[in-house]
């Protein structure tokens, strides 16, 4: 049976489910393992991720897809089953991170451009053969005095659009991720203005590159105050200004929006998502594509010790369930505490 990218995209943002971002580079996951004094060996990285993927309660009920790293998409469990097949057996869709990271943007001090377009067509075809049915590419947009520049916004949007077109050619759904960072001391209105500019520039480029929006998932930041802002916006303001920005910029043809957590705490990311789904009439499904906001608790519970697997899976299941409720606007702080 022919796979339709529209169907895959819709399944990725299905109500009640979201995406687990387990695509940390080796350097990034080493920092996470260092924080729990665990050795960052290939076997440990495999065991940790396999532990999450085999958490059937969470995977079957709350997780629509998993973003993998190049190493992980090739790994097998001790009993010889590929991690891709473990994900598929839980009813989730395997995906793959394909960018090679953000580097300094020439001629633009303090700004970044994401690389990885060279050879991408061939890599996508290989990943499709390994079982990946969606991909992710992250652009990094920083806010500081005088930045982001139009040059940075356009360069990153152009790269995202080229990547997305290549994905659809290869039979892979692209997740386009223009992340406006929450580092710094900017207020929520500054974030709102930059996010609007980034999204408008992105959709202009997607149109020029003939990217089919019905076969595309957007992974944006929420509109939120910078971490160092003296007065940070509350949940209701974050929800209202994020929804207003999305309605200004994102065509209704996009099947769904899967937010990144972007450095928010576990509960913050859940509360903001729930407030948007509870309070607004929306043309798209709003869900999550969280890394740290899903993994921080199970990582701390695991600590690299096989005897802690059950506790870690319980922690992962709890966070997945809370975020599943948030996709339906049904989460509450009281429920968080009682469920915990």
Instruction: Report the CATH number at residue 303.
Output: 3.20.20.70
- Averaged pLDDT for residues 176-203: 97
User: How confident is the model at residue 125, as a pLDDT?
Assistant: 98
Helix (H, G, I), strand (E, B) or coil at 281: coil
Query: Which pair of tokens denotes residue 306?
Result: 């096989």
**Cα gap 183→42, rounded to integer Å:** 31
**Cα gap 208→14, rounded to integer Å:** 28
Q: Are 310 and 317 in contact (CB under 8 A)?
A: no
**Cα gap 216→297, rounded to integer Å:** 30
Banded model confidence at residue 92, pLDDT cuts 50, 70, 90: very high
In this predicted structure, the answer to whether residue 76 has a pLDDT above a threshold of 70 is yes
**Percent of the chain predicted with pLDDT > 90:** 96
Q: Are 117 and 163 in contact (CB under 8 A)?
A: yes
**Cα gap 109→217, rounded to integer Å:** 30
**Cα gap 281→266, rounded to integer Å:** 25
In this predicted structure, the answer to whether residue 329 has a pLDDT above a threshold of 60 is yes
User: How confident is the model at residue 263, as a pLDDT?
Assistant: 87
**Cα gap 186→11, rounded to integer Å:** 36
Query: Which pair of tokens denotes residue 168?
Result: 């659809």
Contacts of residue 315, Cβ cutoff 8 Å, sequence gap at least 6: 297, 298, 300, 301
- Averaged pLDDT for residues 106-120: 98
**Cα gap 186→227, rounded to integer Å:** 8
Ranges of H-type helices in 142-260: 150-169, 188-208, 235-249
Q: Are 293 and 319 in contact (CB under 8 A)?
A: yes
Contacts of residue 174, Cβ cutoff 8 Å, sequence gap at least 6: 134, 135, 136, 137, 163, 164, 167, 168, 211, 215, 216, 217
Q: Are 113 and 102 in contact (CB under 8 A)?
A: yes
* Distance from chain centroid for Cα 48: 19
117-158, pLDDT tens digit by residue? 999 999 999 999 999 999 999 999 999 999 999 999 999 999
- Averaged pLDDT for residues 32-55: 96
Looking up tokens 């319980």, which residue turns up?
A: 314
49-64, pLDDT tens digit by residue? 999 999 999 999 999 9
Catalytic residues: 177, 219
In this predicted structure, the answer to whether residue 215 has a pLDDT above a threshold of 80 is yes
What is the number of other CB atoms lying within 10 angstroms of the CB of residue 31?
Answer: 11
Contacts of residue 57, Cβ cutoff 8 Å, sequence gap at least 6: 317
In this predicted structure, the answer to whether residue 339 has a pLDDT above a threshold of 90 is no
In this predicted structure, the answer to whether residue 335 has a pLDDT above a threshold of 90 is no
User: How confident is the model at residue 338, as a pLDDT?
Assistant: 64
User: How confident is the model at residue 340, as a pLDDT?
Assistant: 53
Query: Which pair of tokens denotes residue 319?
Result: 């966070």
- Averaged pLDDT for residues 80-88: 98
User: How confident is the model at residue 337, as a pLDDT?
Assistant: 80
- Averaged pLDDT for residues 238-256: 98
In this predicted structure, the answer to whether residue 2 has a pLDDT above a threshold of 80 is no
Q: What is the overall mean pLDDT for the chain?
A: 96
In this predicted structure, the answer to whether residue 93 has a pLDDT above a threshold of 60 is yes
Q: Which domain holds residue 255?
A: 5-339
In this predicted structure, the answer to whether residue 299 has a pLDDT above a threshold of 90 is yes
Range 202-235 burial, b when 16+ CB lie within 10 A, else e: bbebbeebebbbebbbbbbbbbbbbeebeebbee
Closest listed residue to residue 148, CA positions, set 115, 176, 113: 113
Structural domain tally of the chain?
1
């Amino acid at each position: 049976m022919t796979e339709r990218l529209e169907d895959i995209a819709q399944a990725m943002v299905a109500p009640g489910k979201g995406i687990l971002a387990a695509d940390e580079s080796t350097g990034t996951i080493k920092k996470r393992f260092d924080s729990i004094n665990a050795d960052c060996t290939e076997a440990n990285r495999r065991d940790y991720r396999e532990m999450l993927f085999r958490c059937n309660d969470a995977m079957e009920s709350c997780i629509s897809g998993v973003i993998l790293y190049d190493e992980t998409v090739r790994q097998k469990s001790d009993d010889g089953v590929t991690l891709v097949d473990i994900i598929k057996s839980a009813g989730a869709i395997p995906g793959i991170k394909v960018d090679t990271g953000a580097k300094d943007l020439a001629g633009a001090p303090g700004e970044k451009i994401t690389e990885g377009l060279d050879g991408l067509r061939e890599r996508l075809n290989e990943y499709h053969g390994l079982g990946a049915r969606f991909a992710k590419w992250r652009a990094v947009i920083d806010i500081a005095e005088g930045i982001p520049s139009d040059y940075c916004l356009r360069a990153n949007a152009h790269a995202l659009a080229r990547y997305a077109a290549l994905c659809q050619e290869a039979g892979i759904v692209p997740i386009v991720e223009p992340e406006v960072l929450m580092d710094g001391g900017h207020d929520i209105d500054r974030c709102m203005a930059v996010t609007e500019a980034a999204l408008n520039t992105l959709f202009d480029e997607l149109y020029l590159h003939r990217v089919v929006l019905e076969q595309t998932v957007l992974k944006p930041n929420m509109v939120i105050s910078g971490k160092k802002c003296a007065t940070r916006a509350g949940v209701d303001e974050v929800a209202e200004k994020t929804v207003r920005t999305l309605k200004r910029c994102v065509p209704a043809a996009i099947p769904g929006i899967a937010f990144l957590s972007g450095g928010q705490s576990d509960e913050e990311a859940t509360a903001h998502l729930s407030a948007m789904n509870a309070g607004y009439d929306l043309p798209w499904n709003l869900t999550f594509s969280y890394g740290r906001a899903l993994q921080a608790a199970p990582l701390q519970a695991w600590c690299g010790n096989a005897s802690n697997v059950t506790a870690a899976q319980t922690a992962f299941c709890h966070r997945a369930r809370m975020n599943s409720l948030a996709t339906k606007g049904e989460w509450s702080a009281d429920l968080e505490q009682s469920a915990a």
